Amino acid sequence: MDSKELQRIKARYGIVGNCEALNHALDTALQVANTDLSVLITGESGVGKEILPRLIHDNSLRRTRKYFAINCGSIPEGTIDSELFGHEKGAFTGAIGEHAGYFGVADGGTLFLDEVGELPISTQARLLRVLETGEYIRVGASEVRKTNVRIVAATNVNIQNAIRDGKFREDLFFRLSTIPIKMPPLRERGADIILLFKKFAMEVAAKYQMPQYLTLTPEAEEVMKRYKWPGNIRQLKNLTEQLSILLRDTRIVTPEILSEYEIWPTIEEQGGLVRVGHASSEQHSYASEREMLFQMMNAMHNEINSLKQQLATIQQNAPVDLSFAPPSAPSMPAHHTPSDAAPDATPYAEEYVEESLSIDEQEKRLIIKALEKNHGRRKKAAEELHISERTLYRKIKEYGLEEE
Contact 260, 224 (CB under 8 A): no
Contact 232, 47 (CB under 8 A): yes
Q: Taking CB under 6 A as the rule, which mask of x and - marks residues 230-269 in contact with ligand ADP?
A: ---xx--x--------------------------------
Binders of ligand ADP in range 183-222 (CB under 6 A): 196
Shorter beta-carbon distance to Mg ion: residue 158 or 217: 158
Q: Based on DSSP, count helices (H) and strands (E) in the chain, helices before strands.
A: 18, 9
Out of 11, 25, 51, 119, the only residue in the binding site for ligand ADP (CB under 6 A) is: 51
Out of 18, 43, 181, 210, the only residue in the binding site for ligand ADP (CB under 6 A) is: 43
Shorter beta-carbon distance to Mg ion: residue 183 or 292: 183
3-state helix, strand, coil in the chain (%, to 5): 50, 10, 40
Question: Does residue 14 come out as left (phi exceeding 0), alpha (psi in the -120 to 50 range) or beta?
Answer: left
Asked if residue 50 binds ligand ADP (CB under 6 A), the reply is: yes
SS3 99: strand
Shortest spacing between CB 50 and ligand ADP, in angstroms: 3
Q: Taking CB under 5 A as the rule, which mask of x and - marks residues 40-79 in contact with Mg ion?
A: ----------x-----------------------------
Quote the strand ranges of 149-223, DSSP E.
150-155, 179-182, 215-216
From the list Mg ion, ligand ADP, none, pick the one residue 36 interacts with, judged by a Cβ distance below 5 to 8 Å according to partner type. Answer: none
Asked if residue 117 binds ligand ADP (CB under 6 A), the reply is: no
Q: Which of 75, 12, 38 is nearest to 175 (CA)?
A: 38
CA–CA separation, 6 vs 48, rounded Å?
16
Asked if residue 226 binds ligand ADP (CB under 6 A), the reply is: no
Residues of this chain that bind Mg ion (CB under 5 A): 50
Residues of this chain that bind ligand ADP (CB under 6 A): 14-17, 43, 45-51, 196, 233-234, 237
